[in-house]
């Protein structure tokens, strides 16, 4: 048996290839199920037990040598004839490892996808905004704390030029231009003057949703969000709505989903409540419809807004917001879906 092993080793060492057909031949002769090494393993079964250890060692190392040889033949072949061939000097000289999508992009695309399945279309608005679209058109009273210098980045001496603090501003822009029915979502980047920590960042991403038509009801809002929650977090997900307040919706609510980690039983992620808050929502305040030129006697609507990083944190259980902005490829390479 040792002679047979040595003989095959010599054959492997002597094997050279210059085409992919020859490479495949190497694989078939030595490494396939019916190849020479497999038949040695077959014969190995009848080796006497006192010789098994010694021969087994040789046989295993032969197999490893054959695989190594195959890989190096393959590599040489691709250098000669593959995409990195030296006859095209504009080609990269070594293979680039391909990148992965950023987790925020993965989640944004997933959210867009889920809502597009129920008829929502995606639109976008500007990041640099004016007071009307971010605050006044959304029914924020003049003395509302969110307008405070603490929260809003003003980027010129003119107080009417600012970075949007939420994507709700796109609601106003769309309602000013489009007549109902409106069924849109608005993903985008938002800015707040916050100290950076594990839980807060001065830049993050939101997706806003808006549906305005005849007879849109709170029940429609609830079913839409239930559909979203199940698609995003799994069919068994439950939702609950808690009363809340936003200047631009009346009534307003916050949506919680049952914790997908403990299935609602209680764990440290959901702080033993069984639920996790994911978004704010409500019926569009009639003042907001009227301010954008939509007759609130004729139309009603619902709106919702969620943080993309928040959904990503819950889905991936990565609880430090800063990781999403540092672009450390060791972190980013862990997200390889779609
Ligand atoms: N704009 C809110 C925020 O940034 C989120 C929000 C709450 C959006 C309720 C909505 C809504 O459309 O109806 O916190």
Cα(174) to centroid(ligand 1), Å: 16
Q: Compute the CA torsion angle 196, 202, 207, 210 (nearest 10 deg).
A: 130
Q: For residues 306 and 206, what is the distance between their CA atoms, to the nearest angstrom?
A: 5
E strands, 132-274, are: 162-163, 182-191, 203-213, 239-246, 249-258
Nearest atom of ligand 1 to the alpha carbon of 165: 4
Find the residues whose C-beta lies inside 6 A of ligand 1: 166, 168, 208, 246, 249, 280-282, 303-305
Pick the CATH number of 103-335 from 1.20.1370.20, 3.30.930.10, 1.20.1250.20, 3.10.20.30: 3.30.930.10
The reply to whether omega before 132 is within 30° of 0 (cis) is: no
Ligand 1 atom with least separation from CA of 249? 13
Q: How far apart are CA 332 and CA 226, in angstroms?
A: 30
CA of 167 to the centre of ligand 1 (A): 8
CA of 93 to the centre of ligand 1 (A): 50
Can you give the pLDDT at residue 76?
Answer: 80
Tally of CA atoms within 13 A in the half-sphere of 303 that contains its CB: 29
Looking at ligand 1, which atom is closest to the CA of residue 171?
12
Q: Is the bond preceding 251 in cis, omega lying within 30 degrees of 0?
A: yes
Per the listing, tokens 């190849």 go with 35
Ligand 1, atom 6, residue with closest C-alpha: 305
**Local confidence pLDDT in tens for the 338 residues of the chain:** 889 999 999 999 999 988 888 999 999 999 998 999 999 999 998 999 888 888 999 998 898 899 889 988 888 877 666 555 566 777 766 666 677 899 999 999 999 999 999 999 999 999 999 999 999 999 999 888 878 766 899 998 998 999 999 999 999 999 999 999 999 999 999 999 999 998 889 999 999 999 999 999 999 999 999 999 999 999 999 999 999 999 999 999 999 999 988 888 888 888 899 999 999 999 999 999 999 999 999 999 999 999 999 999 989 888 889 999 998 988 988 886 54
Task: List 258's β-bridge partners, or say none.
Answer: 275
**Hey, whose CA ends up nearest to atom 7 of ligand 1?**
280
Ligand 1 centre from 152 Cα, in Å? 16
Q: CB of 95 within 8 A of CB of 75? A: no
The residue whose CA is least distant from atom 2 of ligand 1 is 305
- What length does the chain have? 338
Output the pTM of the full model. Answer: 0.73
| Residue 136 vs residues 132, 143, 206, 274: alpha-carbon distances, Å | 5, 11, 20, 37
Q: Beta strands 121-122 and 182-191: pairing type?
A: parallel
List the beta strands (DSSP E) in 126-202. Answer: 128-129, 162-163, 182-191
Q: Among 308, 305, 337, 301, which residue's Cα sits nearest to residue 325?
A: 308
Q: Indicate which atom in ligand 1 lies nearest the CA of residue 167.
A: 1
| 57-93 per-residue burial string, b: 16 or more CB within 10 A, e: under 16 | eebeebbebbeebbeebbeebeeeeeeeeeeeeeeee
Instruction: Report the DSSP pairing between strands 239-246 and 203-213.
Output: unpaired
- Residue of 168, 206, 311 to test ligand 1 pocket, by largest number of atoms within 8 Å of CB: 168
Task: Give 175 Cα–ligand 1 centroid separation in angstroms.
Answer: 16
Would strands 203-213 and 128-129 be described as parallel, antiparallel, or unpaired? unpaired
Cα 305 to ligand 1 centre (Å): 4
- Ligand 1 pocket mutation, candidates 185, 246, 256, 300, criterion most atoms within 8 A of CB: 246
Atom of ligand 1 nearest to the CA of 284: 13
User: Ligand 1: distance of its center to the CA of 223 in Å?
Assistant: 18
Tell the residue nearest (CA) to atom 12 of ligand 1.
Answer: 304
Tokens 């390479």, residue located = 333
Beta bridge partners of 210: 184, 303
Residue spans of the domains in the chain: they are 2-81, 103-335
Compute the distance between CA of residue 249 and CA of residue 268 in angstroms, rounded to an integer: 32
d(CA 238, CA 263): 9
Query: Strand pairing of 162-163 and 128-129?
Result: antiparallel
């Amino acid at each position: 048996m040792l002679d047979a092993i040595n003989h095959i080793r010599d054959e492997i060492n002597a094997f050279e290839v210059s085409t992919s057909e020859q490479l495949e031949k190497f694989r078939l002769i030595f490494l396939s199920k019916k190849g020479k090494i497999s038949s040695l393993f077959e014969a190995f079964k009848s080796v006497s037990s006192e010789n098994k250890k010694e021969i087994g060692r040789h046989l295993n190392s032969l197999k490893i040598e054959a695989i190594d040889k195959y890989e190096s033949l393959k590599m040489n072949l691709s250098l000669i004839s593959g995409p990195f061939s030296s006859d095209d000097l504009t080609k990269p000289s070594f293979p680039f490892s391909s990148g992965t999508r950023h987790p925020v992009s993965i989640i944004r695309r997933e959210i867009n996808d889920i809502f597009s399945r129920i008829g929502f279309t995606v639109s976008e608005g500007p990041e640099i905004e004016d007071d009307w679209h971010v605050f006044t058109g959304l029914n924020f009273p003049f003395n509302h704390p969110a307008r405070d210098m603490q929260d809003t980045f003003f980027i010129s001496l003119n107080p009417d030029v600012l970075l949007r603090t939420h994507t709700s501003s796109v609601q106003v822009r769309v309602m000013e231009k489009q007549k109902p029915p409106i069924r849109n979502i608005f993903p985008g980047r938002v800015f707040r003057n916050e100290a950076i920590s594990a839980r807060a960042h001065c830049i993050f991403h939101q997706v806003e949703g808006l549906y305005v038509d005849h007879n849109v009801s709170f029940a429609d809002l609830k079913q839409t969000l239930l559909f979203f929650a199940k698609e995003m977090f799994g069919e068994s997900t439950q939702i609950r709505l808690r009363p809340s307040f936003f200047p631009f919706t009346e009534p307003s609510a916050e949506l919680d989903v049952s914790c997908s980690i403990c299935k609602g039983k209680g764990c440290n992620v959901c702080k033993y409540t069984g639920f996790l808050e994911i978004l704010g929502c409500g019926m569009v305040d009639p003042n907001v419809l009227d301010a954008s030129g939509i007759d609130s006697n004729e139309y009603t609507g619902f709106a919702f807004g969620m943080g993309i990083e928040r959904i990503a944190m819950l889905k991936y259980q990565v609880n430090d917001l800063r990781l999403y902005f540092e672009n450390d490829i060791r972190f980013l390479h862990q997200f390889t879906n779609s």
